[in-house]
Amino acid sequence: MELVKTEQKNFNDYLEFLDPETISEFEALLQQLQGKKIAMVSATCYGGGVAEKLHSLVPLLNDLGLDVDWWVISGCTNQFYNVTKSFHNCLQGQEGSLEERDIEIFLHYNELNAFPMQDWHYDYFVIHDPQPAALIHYREKRAGEKWIWRCHIDTSTPNMAYWNFLYRYISRYDACIFSMPDYVKENHGLQNLTFITPSIDPLSFKNIPLTRERAQEIVGNFGIDINRPLISQISRFDPWKDPLGVLDVYRIVKKELPEVQLALVGSMAHDDPEGWDYLYRTLRKAGEDYDIKVVTNFNGITGLEVNAFQTVSDVVLQKSLREGFGLTVAEALWKGRPVIGGKVGGIKLQIEDGVNGYLVSTVEECAEKALNLLRNPMLVRQMSENGREKVRKQFLVTKNALAYLKLFAKLENRTLARNL
């Protein structure tokens, strides 16, 4: 296990985004939870939405008076990450059989990472996603500890071989968190089932306000012509994010508006070896169209550059085929950009069709809605206001922190009740 260092955050800096009643809720919960020790455990500390959320959530909870450590599993090989990528894909509905060798690899690295946990002393363990889910098998719960499993992916139609295997472990947790009810079967049998939507940090480099001039300067460095319309999708290169479908959308739009440009902006994570293959497939399909820019963190893309692309884009897409939540939707809405998203998973929680963007199911429908936005700047302005307010109320990191505090307090109170 490796301990992740995060930048400090000050909760007072976020008060401007909170309603008075929300501040009161924080105060009441913190009186009960001051000094509680929490271990967050994930597969990686960069390159994906889970890591991004924890880089904000962990320091914010620490500033509130909790004692939170963030650990990532270590010593894992590409062999393990290939197996866990199959878990990710099959839990989202991809066909495939769970081989005995895959099970052995998965459990071996969970056992390996559980070894240093034997001497850990925390009140709460929050284990993120399938990769470390079996840690609970190799590091048995002790009296007073609470174990929470947090699922960030879309498990609404899972490959049942993979789900049944995972269920052996997650059914032992004291609580399970999903992003929405659709991701859990009715007769789930999981303890303290909780629904918490992911969130964005309004004060991170990715989401702080940028002047249009500064944003244009940044994207201009990547070959974008700031005087021509731009469609962007900010996403990992992954079959579920459908970058190949985005290229098809762009080509339909370009027939009507030849001046349009496309940016596909992504981050490559070390726990996603499949991402490189899909990046190369995307580049091959893009071909030699110089109005298509495909850029990653290896081209200098950081949170600031993502911010700039979202700020200047005329249309933002998130054309996912499966989506646990899709933080990039909330990010773009926060910047006043209407978003066209796949009518799947957590995207449906964020986009109100026709109010702050559009929900679509096909390439053709997506292209039609993109053209509608590109031709109607007044509609864009109206949707912009609606989107930003929805994010302020529902999808900021403060909302996420409050939801975790409520769950911790709920589990604490149940333990106290049992001991009376």
Pair 150, 254 in one domain = no
Confidence of residue 416 (pLDDT cuts 50, 70, 90): very low
Q: Mean pLDDT, to the nearest integer, of 167-189? A: 90
Pair 233, 95 in one domain = no
Pair 336, 355 in one domain = yes
User: Is the model's pLDDT at 22 over the cut of 70?
Assistant: yes
Query: What percentage of the chain reaches a pLDDT higher than 90?
Result: 71
Q: Mean pLDDT, to the nearest integer, of 390-415? A: 91
Is residue 205 a part of any domain in this protein?
no
User: Is the model's pLDDT at 289 over the cut of 50?
Assistant: yes
User: Is the model's pLDDT at 210 over the cut of 60?
Assistant: yes
Is residue 101 a part of any domain in this protein?
yes
pLDDT of residue 135: 96
Query: What percentage of the chain reaches a pLDDT higher than 70?
Result: 96
Is residue 45 a part of any domain in this protein?
yes
User: Is the model's pLDDT at 242 over the cut of 90?
Assistant: yes
Pair 406, 302 in one domain = no
pLDDT of residue 56: 93
User: Is the model's pLDDT at 414 over the cut of 80?
Assistant: no
Is residue 204 a part of any domain in this protein?
no
Pair 140, 217 in one domain = no
pLDDT of residue 167: 94
pLDDT of residue 337: 92
Q: Mean pLDDT, to the nearest integer, of 358-378? A: 96
Count of structural domains within the chain: 2
Pair 385, 325 in one domain = yes
Is residue 320 a part of any domain in this protein?
yes
pLDDT of residue 74: 85
Cβ pair 402, 26 in contact under 8 A: yes
- CA neighbor of 308 nearest in space, from 201, 234, 405: 234
Pair 167, 269 in one domain = no
H-helix segments, 228-296: 243-256, 274-286
Q: Mean pLDDT, to the nearest integer, of 228-243? A: 92
Cβ pair 150, 43 in contact under 8 A: no
Pair 227, 342 in one domain = yes
175-178 β-sheet, strand order: 2-3, 67-72, 37-42, 124-128, 146-150, 175-178, 193-195
Pair 164, 295 in one domain = no
Would you give the DSSP letter of residue 14? Answer: G
Distances, alpha carbon 23 to alpha carbons 19, 26, 196, 398, 402, in Å: 7, 5, 18, 10, 10
User: Is the model's pLDDT at 417 over the cut of 50?
Assistant: no
Confidence of residue 276 (pLDDT cuts 50, 70, 90): confident
- CA neighbor of 198 nearest in space, from 92, 349, 333, 91: 349
Pair 309, 376 in one domain = yes
Give the predicted TM-score (pTM) of the model. Answer: 0.83
User: Is the model's pLDDT at 319 over the cut of 90?
Assistant: yes
Distances, alpha carbon 95 to alpha carbons 56, 86, 101, 238, 412, in Å: 35, 10, 18, 16, 40
Q: Mean of the per-residue pLDDT values for the chain? A: 91
Is residue 325 a part of any domain in this protein?
yes
User: Is the model's pLDDT at 9 over the cut of 50?
Assistant: yes
User: Is the model's pLDDT at 187 over the cut of 80?
Assistant: no
pLDDT digits (tens, 9 = 90+) for 57-116: 999 999 999 999 999 988 878 888 889 889 988 998 899 899 999 999 999 999 999 999
Pair 52, 154 in one domain = yes
Confidence of residue 140 (pLDDT cuts 50, 70, 90): confident
166 vs 420: which has the higher pLDDT:
166
pLDDT of residue 271: 57
Q: Mean pLDDT, to the nearest integer, of 312-317? A: 95
Pair 217, 146 in one domain = no
Confidence of residue 269 (pLDDT cuts 50, 70, 90): low
User: Is the model's pLDDT at 47 over the cut of 70?
Assistant: no
Confidence of residue 266 (pLDDT cuts 50, 70, 90): confident
User: Is the model's pLDDT at 137 over the cut of 90?
Assistant: yes
Is residue 146 a part of any domain in this protein?
yes
What's 257's domain CATH number?
Answer: 3.40.50.2000
Q: Is the dihedral of CA 306, 360, 54, 279 positive or negative?
A: negative
pLDDT of residue 230: 97
The domain in which residue 252 lies consists of: 212-394
Of the listed ranges 1-15, 116-130, 266-280, the least confidently predicted one is 266-280
- CA neighbor of 84 nearest in space, from 92, 198, 172: 92
pLDDT of residue 273: 65
Is residue 207 a part of any domain in this protein?
no
User: Is the model's pLDDT at 418 over the cut of 60?
Assistant: no
Confidence of residue 268 (pLDDT cuts 50, 70, 90): confident
DSSP secondary structure string, 146-165? EEEEE--S--SS--HHHHHH
Would you tell me how many other CB atoms lie within 10 Å of the CB of residue 412?
17
**Identity at 262, one-letter amino acid code:** L
